[in-house]
């Protein structure tokens, strides 16, 4: 009982500290909010002409089509940004003290992940408000839309586990590109600009097996209440969470030794 | 004469340290070179459907998109130069440097040395990737040299912005936060489609006034059109303007940082 309480209070302490640092530091919070919002503006506004490409038939229009991508991207990058925070904590020496102070060290990992989800929830709420003002069309039922948001929020765990795995292994901010670049590329190897059916060549072959594709296709289907690979998307979250969980736990062991 | 080493000597020492430090960080260099190249291939494949839009100015979206690499390289210059300096601040190196006769100008200019060397290295890889991917440079060898000149000016300008952010915040994480903002600025430009094919009024307005669009149009003109002096002149003027602004911001931030130190 005491052991579990100690673990829970360590998670809560780390998560609340990270959230406080985020909310009190405009230099950290503003980019987190601006990035997805401006990204949404850039894609939904700048590429709207693509809705006229023959074969583009998303019923809610190009703005809603891009909203789903930006929602997932914002959530996942909320996780990646938490990897930056962990790397910074190692550079400042705070994480070392944390390793000494917390007996159940998985709590450190979970604390960062929880703070990443709080960060993602804030960003997703902000993006949604902006998207609604820009003409987002929610055609799906409240349950469908709720599932879309749950799926997007949970995808944040994948981003944070990946970035924490890097941060805990290298323990320096210099590897920040390694945290964000692979995720960014993975996102863009999915059907970002046009539906999957309009992709051709090598990118279509990759998009067909890219896990992010299932998330986006499921999200876009849920937004308009149509059938889509929703079950596969939940599997992606589950399997990805297990694999990246092992990746970040082994990194935690590496940090303990280092 | 007054005990301070000559500015050139200071710039050389800091510059050499900056170059060596940049080149010794494969975890920083490899993504900064590979990412724009990967994004070139990914974006040009994902947006190939644009070639079917009436009025699209190039027969190949790949040629049209090659400019993305140079712009992303400039963004990495911002983050790279700033992160290195932020690490110096966090580790106390800058504080120790402040106790020496090193001048502020020497520090900023020297720190930019790494950004410039790295920018040229990046541009070489990007050009090679473009040519291997089938792109042609319409302006020929002279055009390639002009692209390099543009890359150097951009590396100084964007690198200085990163340095200003590092000096202002003293946080590597905050400097890395510039990466997505710069990236978004890139997307709010003519990077993906020309102005004529942007139907949304507010976006077209932003893309029209966004300085990044002028840089893109200048480099892109050399790749897909050939020599367009007016486009090039405007592009260089904007690049020089960013450089002057970035260096001025860095100088002001340095003064504030040294006062706090």
> Is B48 within a domain?
yes
Q: In sequence order, which residues have a C-beta less than 8 Å from that of residue B255 and are 6 or more positions away?
A: B104
Q: What is the pLDDT of residue B204?
A: 92
Six-digit token string for A105: 């060290």
Q: What is the pLDDT of residue B5?
A: 65
Which chain A residues are within 8 Å of B180, Cβ to Cβ?
A: 31, 34-35, 39, 77
B104-141 per-position pLDDT tens digit: 777 788 888 878 888 898 899 999 999 999 999 999 99
Mean pLDDT of A28-46: 82
Six-digit token string for B83: 């992160």
Residue A190 DSSP symbol: S
Mean residue pLDDT across chain B: 85
> Is B106 within a domain?
yes
Q: What is the pLDDT of residue B26?
A: 75
Domain boundaries, chain A: 2-257
> Is B2 within a domain?
no
Q: Give the integer Cα–Cα distance in Å for A210 and A60.
A: 24
Q: What is the pLDDT of residue A234?
A: 97
Residue A258 DSSP symbol: -
Q: What is the pLDDT of residue A238?
A: 97
Q: Can you give the residue range of the structural domain that contains B112?
A: 7-260
Confidence check: pLDDT of B34 > 80: yes
Q: Do B184 and A184 touch (CB under 8 A)?
A: no
ipTM over 0.95: no
**Closest chain B C-alpha to A155 CA, distance in angstroms:** 19
Bigger pLDDT: A52 vs A158: A158
Q: What is the pLDDT of residue A177?
A: 80
For an interface test with A, give the residue of B87, B187, B216 to mutate (most A CBs within 10 A). B187
Q: What is the pLDDT of residue B74?
A: 80
| Lowest mean pLDDT segment, chosen from B21-25, B53-57, B212-216 | B21-25
- State the total domains in chain B: 1
Distance spanning both ends of chain A, measured CA to CA: 31
| Lowest mean pLDDT segment, chosen from A116-130, A236-250, B188-202 | B188-202
pTM for this model (two decimals):
0.77
> Is B1 within a domain?
no
**SS3 annotation, chain B:** CCCCCCHHHHHHHHHHHHHHHHHCCHHHHHHHHHHHHHHHHHHHHHCHHHHHCCCCCCCCHHHHHCHHHHHHHHHHHHHHHHHHHHHHHHHCHHHHHHCCCCCHHHHHHHHHHHHHHHHHHHHHHHHHHHHHCCCCCCCHHHHHHHHHHHHHHHHHHHHHHHHHHHHHHCCHHHHHCHHHHHHHHHHCCCCCCCHHHCCCHHHHHHHHHCHHHHHHHHHHHHHHHCCCHHHHHHHHHHHHHHHHHHHHHHHHHHHHHHHHC
> Is B203 within a domain?
yes
**3 state SS of A60:** coil
> Is B128 within a domain?
yes
Beta strands in chain A (DSSP E): none
Picking from A27, A91, A184, the nearest residue to B177 by CB comes out as A27
Q: What is the pLDDT of residue B106?
A: 79
Confidence check: pLDDT of B177 > 80: no
Bigger pLDDT: B228 vs A180: B228
CB count in 10 Å sphere of residue B214:
21
Confidence check: pLDDT of A1 > 60: no
Q: What is the pLDDT of residue A38?
A: 79
Mean pLDDT of A211-223: 97
> Is B229 within a domain?
yes
Structure confidence at residue B1 as a pLDDT band (50, 70, 90): very low
Which chain B residues are within 8 Å of A38, Cβ to Cβ?
A: 181, 184-185, 187-188
């Amino acid at each position: 009982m005491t052991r579990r309480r100690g673990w829970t209070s360590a998670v809560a302490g780390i998560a609340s500290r990270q959230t406080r640092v985020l909310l009190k530091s405009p230099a950290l919070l503003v980019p987190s909010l601006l990035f997805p919002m401006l990204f949404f503006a850039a894609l939904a506004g700048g590429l709207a002409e693509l809705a006229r490409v023959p074969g583009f038939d998303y019923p809610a229009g190009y703005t809603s089509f891009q909203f789903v991508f930006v929602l997932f991207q914002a959530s996942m990058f909320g996780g990646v940004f938490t990897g930056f925070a962990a790397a910074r904590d190692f550079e400042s020496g705070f994480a070392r003290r944390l390793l000494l102070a917390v007996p159940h060290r998985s709590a450190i990992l979970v604390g960062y992940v929880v703070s990443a989800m709080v960060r993602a929830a804030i960003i997703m709420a902000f993006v949604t408000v902006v998207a609604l003002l820009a003409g987002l069309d929610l055609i799906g039922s409240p349950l469908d839309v709720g599932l879309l948001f749950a799926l997007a929020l949970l995808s944040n765990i994948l981003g944070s586990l990946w970035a924490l795995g890097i941060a805990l292994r290298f323990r320096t901010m210099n590897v920040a590109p390694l945290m964000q670049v692979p995720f960014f590329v993975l996102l863009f190897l999915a059907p970002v600009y046009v539906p999957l059916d309009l992709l051709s060549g090598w990118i279509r072959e990759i998009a067909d097996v890219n896990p992010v594709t299932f998330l986006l296709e499921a999200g876009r289907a849920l937004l308009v209440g149509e059938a889509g690979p929703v079950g596969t998307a939940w599997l992606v979250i589950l399997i990805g969470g297990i694999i990246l969980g092992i990746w970040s736990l082994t990194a935690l062991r590496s940090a303990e030794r280092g | 004469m007054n005990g301070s080493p000559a500015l050139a000597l200071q710039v050389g020492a800091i510059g050499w340290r900056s170059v060596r430090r940049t080149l010794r960080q494969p975890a920083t260099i490899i993504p900064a070179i590979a990412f724009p190249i990967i994004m070139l291939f990914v974006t040009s494949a994902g947006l190939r459907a644009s070639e079917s839009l009436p009025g699209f100015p190039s027969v190949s979206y790949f040629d049209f998109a090659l400019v993305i690499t140079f712009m992303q390289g400039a963004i990495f210059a911002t983050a790279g130069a700033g992160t290195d300096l932020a690490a110096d601040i966090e580790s106390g190196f800058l504080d120790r440097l402040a106790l020496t006769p090193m001048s502020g100008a020497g520090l900023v200019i020297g720190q930019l040395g790494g950004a410039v060397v790295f920018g040229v290295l990046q541009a070489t890889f990007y050009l090679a990737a473009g040519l291997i991917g089938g792109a042609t440079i319409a302006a020929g060898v002279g055009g390639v040299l002009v692209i390099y000149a543009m890359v150097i000016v951009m590396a100084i300008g964007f690198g200085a912005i990163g340095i200003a952010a590092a000096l202002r915040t003293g946080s590597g994480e905050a400097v890395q936060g510039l990466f997505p903002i710069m990236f978004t600025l890139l997307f709010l430009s003519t990077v993906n489609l020309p102005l004529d094919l942007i139907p949304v009024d507010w976006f077209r307005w932003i893309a029209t006034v966004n300085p990044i669009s002028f840089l893109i149009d200048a480099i892109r003109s050399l790749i897909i059109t050939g020599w367009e002096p007016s486009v090039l002149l405007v592009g260089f003027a904007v690049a020089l303007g960013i450089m002057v602004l970035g260096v001025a911001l860095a100088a002001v931030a340095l003064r504030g940082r040294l006062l706090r130190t």
